[in-house]
Every structure is written in C-alpha cells, then in structure tokens.
A = this chain, B = another copy of it.
Amino acid sequence: MRGVIEIPDHLTPVQERIEDALVRVQRAFDAQLASELAPVGELCAHVERYRGKMLRPVLAILSGMAVSPGGEADTDGIGADLIGLAAVCEMVHMATLVHDDVLDEADVRRRGATINHLRGNEAAVILGDYLIAGAYALCASIGRPELDLRIARVSMDVCAGELLQLSHGDDFSLDEPTYFEIVERKTGALIGVACELGASVCGASRVLASSLYDAGVDLGVAFQIRDDVLDLTGRESAVGKSVGKDLEKGKLTLPLIHHLASCAEGERAQALELLARCTHPENNEARARVLEGVRETGSVEYAQRAGAERVERARGVIAGLAPSGAREMLDRLALAVLHRSY
C-alpha cells in the first residue's frame, strides 16, 4: 500500500497486517497454480509479471477487518478463509488481464511484456482458463459454498459487461448509460464482490455485505474512469502499460463520450472523423487533435467529476462502519482512486 497512498504513523500497524496478509495471499495463489508439469509452471511464473497493487485482495482484507470487532479480522489474526477469498479475487482478476491482453493485442503490462507477446495468443488464452479454473478450485476448497456461487455469478457479470462493450466496438454512438452498464459489470462487479465477501466471511450481515458490494462497484467504476483519463493523457513510463489503446481500438471512454455529446452540431462530424482516423496506425496527429478537442470541451474534468461522485458515494458506506484503522485505510484508498497517475 505504501507507494499507493501515504500512510500516517498511527496506521502503520494496519499497514503491517495487510502486508503480512498479502504475503499469505500470494502463497495461496502460487500453491493453487503449482503443477508437476514443467511447461505449466513456467507459464504461471510469467503471471508474476502481472502482479500489481493487489487492489482486490487489499479491499477484501480491509473489508473483513473493518467489520470485525475492533477492526480486526479475528482475535488471532486474519483467518484462512479471508486469505483464500482474497487470493480467489486476485486470480479471477489475473485471468481477465491475461485474456484482455489477447483482446487488446497489448505488448506491455506493468512494465513487463505480456504473455501473448512472449508466448503467443494460444498460451495466453489457455493460461487465462487455467487461472479461472484455479480460482474456482481455491474457492471451493475454502468450504463455504455460498462463495462459489457468488464468485461464479459475478464472473458471468464481468464477461457480460465485456460482451456488451464488444458489441459497441466501433460504434461511436455509445451513450453514457450504456458506458456505465458496461463498466459496472466489467470492472465494478469483481471489486464489489471482493468487498462484499471479505466482509461476509468475517461475519458481516447480508445487508452490510451488500452495501459494501455497492461501495466496491462505485470504487471500481471510479477506477475505470481514471484509467480512461490516463489512457488519454498519461505517459506509458508512468502508467506501466500501453497508453492510447482506447483511441486505437475505437473504444469510447467517458471523456470521449462527453466530448462527442458536447460538440456543437457542426463540429460533431469532424470529431467523429478524427476518432475514426485514430484507429489507423500512425495516428499521432489525429490523436493530438482529439486531445485538444477533449480539453476544449472540458471532458477530462467532467469524467473526473463523475468519478468523484462515485468515490463520495462509496465513502458514505465506509463512514457507516464502526471506527477502526481498517475503516480509515479504506477511506484513504477510496480517495486515492481518482488521483493516481499509475
């Protein structure tokens, strides 16, 4: 978490508990994927390159801690069920990253070459499937059957969101409600379920767990909006993955949707034509002009505001939890979502 948010001294004990827990999450993750077949092990080792901030495990663990008496997951420390669940969420996420990189034809992810770039699309598709199966196997081995059903249903939501997005692939008429419908499923649902189930394995009521699901979805949407903005305005060296991909793929993001909706009648056709040109190689000039237009319509600021509204709604749920270090950490994380430049 250090490096993601600034941590004041009084939260150091919480921070250390999370770091210890993440080591255990990583151990559960690796143990689940271990194989006696050498080629499988080699490919799984590549997945380590994808390891990022472990946002979903962190949120699952913090949610669990925050609903436990005294802000602890239990008196002896963070229980094995919570660790397992956190690893499951990360594994599902990794699977979607590996498959997304095939779809996006991305070469770089978190400063490392992608699996598809290194080993081909075939390996990436199957490795993603292996990760999904591993996630379900780990989930089923926790021994709380209600988790199996929730994780599977949410994974269906994630895919449904991706299919909805794909069906609007080169469709520059994508509107804001459809954008949110896509993002709530594609990015929000898994982050939501990490918060929900993290809390529920630590004894939260169904109502509380469900409100944490909503908060997680809001944070996920805000996170995606920030990704949209960074893909437009960020630099590859800071973000750690390919930028400008959305424009190149003809994928409408929130700033672009707002930009198109804000153009004067006569300018809209030109803006659409510019966007179409961005999907061709050697699109630097078109891209620069789109960025200029986006600045004129204030669309980056608009997107940031929409993200801020989601973050505030999530903070409202967090504020309803009993005071604890974990709750404060959750709140700080929520605030950080919209200000990251990585």
* A residues lining the B interface (CB < 8 Å): 35, 37-40, 43, 95-96, 99, 102-103, 121-123, 125-130, 132-134, 136-137, 139-141, 143, 145, 148-149, 151-153, 155-156, 158-160, 162-164, 166-167, 169, 181
The distance in angstroms between the C-alpha atoms of A145 and B141, with both chains bound, is 9
Q: Is the interface of A mostly helix, strand, loop or mixed?
A: helix
A143-B145 contact in complex given A40-B160, A123-B163, A125-B99, C-beta closer than 8 Å? yes
The distance in angstroms between the C-alpha atoms of A153 and B181, with both chains bound, is 33
Which residues of the partner chain B approach A137 to less than 8 Å between Cβ atoms?
A: 149, 152-153, 155-156
Determine how many copies of this chain the complex contains: 2
Q: Are A103 and B129 in contact, CB atoms less than 8 angstroms apart? A: no
Q: Are B133 and A152 in contact, CB atoms less than 8 angstroms apart? A: yes
Which residues of the partner chain B approach A122 to less than 8 Å between Cβ atoms?
A: 103, 166, 169
The distance in angstroms between the C-alpha atoms of A133 and B43, with both chains bound, is 22
The distance in angstroms between the C-alpha atoms of A151 and B134, with both chains bound, is 11
A126-B163 contact in complex given A145-B143, A148-B145, C-beta closer than 8 Å? yes
- Checking B145, B156, B166 against A39 with a beta-carbon cut-off of 8 angstroms, the contacting residue is B166
Besides A38-B167, A43-B163, A96-B129, 17 more A-B contacts (Cβ < 8 Å) are A39-B163, A40-B160, A102-B125, A103-B121, A103-B122, A103-B126, A122-B169, A126-B159, A126-B166, A127-B159, A133-B153, A133-B155, A136-B148, A136-B155, A139-B152, A140-B148, A145-B145
Which residues of the partner chain B approach A152 to less than 8 Å between Cβ atoms?
A: 133-134, 136-137, 139-140
Could you tell me the distance in whole angstroms from the C-beta of A228 to the nearest C-beta in chain B?
Answer: 19
- Checking B128, B140, B159 against A149 with a beta-carbon cut-off of 8 angstroms, the contacting residue is B140
The distance in angstroms between the C-alpha atoms of A25 and B123, with both chains bound, is 32
The distance in angstroms between the C-alpha atoms of A40 and B185, with both chains bound, is 13
